[in-house]
């Protein structure tokens, strides 16, 4: 049982940081919507926790897009030398068949751009929250904007995650060295 290093880092990017981001969205959305209505209340400790949570989400979002763009994407878009087997070149493999070309033309083309909405949106939301905290209740429009951008960040992360998973299913990013997990026992 083994993994390739490219496959491992793709998993860290998507199933690690990407999934962690998506999982963290629901708490932020629920807390921002129920605790910052006019006349609602939140303890100082909970408010501090929510602020830390949003900042952590921003850090995770940046790590996810940066590893995607600068670690995984170069492996995905590598150009195969003439006569090479396309299995090691995901973009070329997808573009080689009419049955899979749209996974690249729509899936990757959309994912590589829309994914950047996530860190921009959540960084703004975290910065505004940390600046205003309880005063957000005094500005319902600002609270609506923060909540909208957090929901959008979740949606754009979802689009990127969905296409990332499907792309990797149709043309896995694989290669590099081998990480051996368990030696077969012949059972």
Residues of this chain that bind another protein (CB under 8 A): 65, 69-70, 73-74, 77, 105-106, 109-110, 112-114, 116-117, 120-121, 123-124, 127-128, 131-132, 135, 138-139, 141-142, 144-146, 148-149, 152, 156
How many Å from the N-terminal Cα to the C-terminal Cα in the chain?
A: 13
Q: In the complex with another protein, which residue's Cβ is closer, 2 or 102?
A: 102
Residue 136 CA, distance from chain mean position: 27
CB of 36 to another protein, least distance (A): 13
Q: In the complex with another protein, which residue's Cβ is closer, 80 or 180?
A: 80
Q: In the complex with another protein, which residue's Cβ is closer, 42 or 124?
A: 124
Q: What are phi and psi of 159, to 5 degrees?
A: -60, -50
CB of 145 to another protein, least distance (A): 4
Q: In the complex with another protein, which residue's Cβ is closer, 27 or 73?
A: 73
Q: From 154, 157, 116, 124, select the one nearest 142 (Cα to Cα).
A: 124
Alpha-carbon torsion 2, 7, 11, 13, what sign? positive
């Amino acid at each position: 049982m083994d993994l390739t290093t490219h496959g491992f880092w793709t998993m860290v990017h998507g199933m690690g940081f990407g999934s962690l981001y998506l999982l963290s969205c629901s708490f932020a959305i629920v807390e921002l919507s129920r605790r910052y209505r006019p006349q609602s209340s939140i303890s100082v400790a909970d408010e501090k926790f929510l602020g830390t949570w949003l900042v952590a989400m921003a850090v995770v979002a940046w790590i996810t897009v940066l590893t995607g763009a600068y670690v995984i994407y170069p492996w995905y878009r590598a150009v195969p030398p003439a006569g090479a087997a396309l299995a090691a070149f995901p973009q070329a493999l997808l573009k080689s068949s009419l049955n899979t070309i749209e996974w690249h033309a729509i899936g990757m083309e959309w994912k590589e751009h829309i994914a950047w909405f996530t860190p921009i949106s959540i960084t703004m939301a975290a910065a505004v929250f940390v600046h205003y905290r309880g005063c957000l209740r005094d500005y319902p429009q600002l609270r609506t904007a923060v909540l909208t951008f957090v929901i959008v960040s979740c949606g754009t992360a979802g689009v990127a995650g969905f296409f990332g998973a499907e792309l990797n299913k149709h043309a896995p990013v694989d290669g590099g060295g081998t990480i051996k997990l368990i030696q077969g026992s012949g059972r």
